[in-house]
Structure 1
Amino acid sequence: MNYKTQMEAAKLGIITKEMETVSGKEKVDVHKLRELVACGKIVIPANRNHRSLNPEGIGDGLKTKINVNLGVSGDCADYSKEFEKVRLSIELGAESIMDLSNYGKTNTFRKELIDISTAMIGTVPMYDAIGYLEKDLMDISAKDFFKVVEAHAKEGVDFMTIHAGINKHAVETFKKSNRITNIVSRGGSLLFAWMEMTGNENPFYEFYDDLLDILYEYDVTISLGDALRPGSIHDSTDAGQITELIELGNLTKRAWEKNVQVLVEGPGHMAINEIPANMVIQKRLCHGAPFYVLGPLVTDIAPGYDHITSAIGGAIAASNGANFLCYVTPAEHLRLPDLNDVKEGIIASKIAAHAADIANGIPGAREIDNKMSDARRRIDWEDMFSYAIDGAKAREYFESTPPADKHSCSMCGKMCAMRTTNKILSGEKVELKGE
């Protein structure tokens, strides 16, 4: 039997090599996995032209995955620095990289990225449209936008953020709202501007079936972008956000009917108490499709520390239904992140994802925590460094102020609780002055 997408294969009862890989990684029965891919609750973004890909699954019952955003801008157009970030992201175990380049001819960078990356690759074709087409925004036609989508698909992009839900109805709802930060989605704002200047409907909504035909041909997963996501906690869960989300649920079903895999994107900025309900609403309105969140950032006053505000929100979101976390770096809202910002953002997101996996009872999630706890009991520093998410940083901290006694650290010294208890349980005396 012939098939073009993972979803189509799953519906036909076919277990693909990508499903077998994900099954092995996740310790999930491959037949159960196939059923969940068939009904859209798990996606395996895997463009047939991305030959270096080590596939991953995203969805309920699987480990929470993280995404790294990178790419050049007009102010920072050094592709060599972006490839350093790519290599670091893969080394630190990020499952996904989104190329958000918005300056110049980005396809040279993107093709090389796809050639070398074992992580899945995502893009937002709307960002690339102006540079690719060499036209100003108002002069771009609906067909032009689709040319960029098809170019990205041919290159091997595994998933694309497409803001198909911001239609004229959603725009009118947005205009009637009392938002502080209006539209903060870059792609969403460009589409909003195009719609307002031309008077036309969103082409990705109006010609959605044509879009799905392109994505189906290459097995590109559509990541339904949330153009009206809240950019401040004041704006969260308002009529604009929910109106668009309802439309994204309809678009999800239409994509599944054409055997196109779907991710749904979500907030944004949101107070902690609103996060669990938002996850439930999204899953209900979008029929259980995997949920991809940026943060959520739980406060608006921490520029320079937004990797922390994001990790707090991400852990809560992922323990309440979100499946895919987009990292946020300390540079968020301030500048293009440098290499260290990328590392900080990845580590913060991995902490949030792992914490959620423990809360969700993902098979094997607690094992490494138990190993770390045992190493701490034994005061085995080398084992502790090996189990740490960032072992290099842990070692650097420990060695920066070395203890006189290797069976402790410089904070507690000979009063180390582990050391004291170990000695007593092994029948030794604890003599703090004489030792």
Structure 2
Amino acid sequence: MIRRFVLDGCKLPVGNVPLYQAFADSIKKYRNPNKLDPEYLFELIERQLADGISFMAIHCGINRFSIERLRKQGFRYGGLVSKGGTFMVSWMEYNNCENPLYEQFDRVCELMKKYDAVLSLGNGIRAGAIHDSHDRAQMAEMIINCELAELGRDMGCQMMVEGPGHVPLDEIEGNIMLEKRMSGGAPYYVLGPLPADSGAGYDHITAAIGAANSARYGADLICYITPAEHLALPDENDVREGVRATRLAARIGDIAKYPERRELEKQVALARRDSDFEEYFRLSMFPEKMRQVRDSRTPENKATCTMCGDFCAMERGHALFKNDIQGDKCRKTVENSNACE
């Protein structure tokens, strides 16, 4: 019911994680998620696709080999942080069986093809702490997911790879390079990454820093994080703040990658320089927030803001260079040389 409500109310592509419902249903039916019937899992995947899901995060890259790497390295500082991934590892250990999503990968791909959906290879053993970044267990799953991305593409399935969780800032570029190299350039859906573990309460900012760098280095899809991450289920305001921070991160990354994206930033700077607040609002990402802040602290001099008031640097600069800022002269100079002379 919830899934169909979301699909009916949204024009954008909607993705989900089928393992969540599969294990939840098994708990209701058997009071034990480890009694999940693999056939029911595949039936559920098809039912969700038939509802209109556009992409699915499916944990195909967890197998007995990757679990053995986790055990031999002595577990982790941050433990296992993927809900679907951890339930699947538990199911495999309880039943002493291989992951059916890995074992029957061709069947997963056929379902995705049938409904023209994208298979996003879930990152079930992603690092949940920067000290676990690029450990053997994470790398084992990443290698498998990259192999599966190529196999799925050869079968005519649309593929993405997910990762990497918590990653120090200096390792983000290398992580993306590895994914692109090993997968033959498959689109990379980054979860965060969070370059610090100690920012709870502001993890939307922590993640935005990681996401901006990821976008800069070639990530293709960014997952938003809310201020409530690691603490609680987000409320509506948490979601709004998380999405805004992630949109900003995506723009920062794109500005670094694509020089043409800087033209808008130039126009924003000119509007701010000229104290043209209406144009400043119109060109910026969050005009409602800007108006709210300005209206809450209205200056006597409408040409300024209350940050500097009568000591406004912009006004003083205009007074100093008034003979050089006649009409559109300075704007044209900026457009021609990127410097105001």
Q: TM-score, normalised by structure 2?
A: 0.91
Counterpart of 1:314 in structure 2 is 211
Would the aligned equivalents of 1:294 and 1:325 in 2 still touch at CA under 8 Å? Answer: yes
Aligned to 2:188: 291
Correspondence for 2:10: 117
Select the residue among 179, 187, 211 that pairs with 1:282: 179
**Which of 395, 399, 408 lines up with 2:295 in the alignment?**
399
Offset of residue 427 of structure 1? 4.3
Equivalent of 1:332 in 221, 229, 247? 229
- Could you list the per-position Cα deviations for residues 170-226 of structure 1 after superposition, in whole angstroms to 9, with x for gaps in the alignment? 110111124112211111001001001111100100011111111110011000011
Q: Determine the structure 1 residue equivalent to 2:84.
A: 187
SS at match of 1:366: helix
Is it true that 1:256 corresponds to 2:153 in the alignment? yes
Q: Do 2:193 and 2:211's aligned partners in 1 also have CA atoms closer than 8 Å? A: yes
8 Å contact kept, 1:319–1:359: yes
* Equivalent-residue separation in structure 2 for 1:301 and 1:377 (angstroms): 37
- Of 380, 403, 420, which residue of structure 1 is paired with 2:276? 380
Asked whether the 8 Å contact 2:35–2:91 carries over to 1, the reply is no
Whether the aligned pair in 2 keeps the contact of 1:165 and 1:244 (CA below 8 Å) is: yes
CA distance in 2, matches of 1:328, 1:143: 33
In structure 2, distance between residues paired with 1:169 and 1:130: 23
Instruction: Give the structure with the larger helix fraction.
Output: 2
Partner in structure 2 of residue 354 of structure 1: 251
Q: Kindly, what percent of the aligned residue pairs are identical?
A: 40
Match of 1:141 among 24, 37, 55: 37
Alignment partners' CA distance in 2, 1:275 and 1:385: 33
Query: For 1:7-406, what aligned pairs fall within 5 Å after superposition?
Result: 108-132=1-25, 134-135=28-29, 136-178=32-74, 179-361=76-258, 364-406=260-302
Aligned to 2:332: none
Deviations 1:127-163 (A, max 9, x none): 0113446433122121111011101110010000001
Deviation at 1:267, TM superposition (A): 1.4
Structure 1 unaligned runs (5+)? 1-107, 429-435
Cα distance in 2 between the residues matched to 1:230 and 1:321: 20
Look up the equivalent residue of 1:175 and give its one-letter code. Answer: R
Partner of 1:11: none
- In 2, distance between residues paired with 1:231 and 1:305? 17
**Aligned residue identity for 1:140:** L
* Alpha-carbon distance, 1:116 to partner: 2.4
> Are the aligned partners of 1:132 and 1:148 in contact in 2 as well (CA < 8 Å)?
no
1:60-110 alpha-carbon deviations (Å, 9 max, x no partner): xxxxxxxxxxxxxxxxxxxxxxxxxxxxxxxxxxxxxxxxxxxxxxxx121
**Alignment partners' CA distance in 1, 2:5 and 2:274:** 46
RMSD: 1.4
One-letter amino acid of the structure 1 residue matched with residue 205 of structure 2: I
Query: In structure 1, what is the Cα distance between the partners aligned to 2:242 and 2:48?
Result: 26
Q: Distance in 1 between matches of 2:67 and 2:23?
A: 23
Query: What's the counterpart of residue 20 of structure 1?
Result: none
User: Matched residue of 1:268: which SS?
Assistant: strand
Residue aligned with 2:144, SS: helix
Q: Please give the alpha-carbon distance, in whole angstroms, between the structure 2 residues aligned to 1:131 and 1:164.
A: 19
Retained in 2: the 8 A contact 1:269–1:298?
A: yes
> SS in structure 2 opposite 1:295?
strand
Q: Which runs of 5+ in 2 are unaligned?
A: 325-341
Kept in 2: contact 1:315–1:355 (CA 8 A): yes
- The answer to whether the Cα contact below 8 Å between 1:269 and 1:295 also exists between their aligned partners in 2 is yes
Contact 2:23–2:87 (CA<8 Å) still a contact in 1? no
Per the normalisation by structure 1, the TM-score is 0.72
Distance in 2 between residues matched to 1:131 and 1:313, nearest whole Å: 32
- Which residue in 2 is equivalent to 1:65? none
Residue aligned with 2:193, SS = coil
Q: Which has the higher contact order (CA 8 A, sep 6+)?
A: 1
Range with bigger deviation, 411-420 or 215-224: 411-420
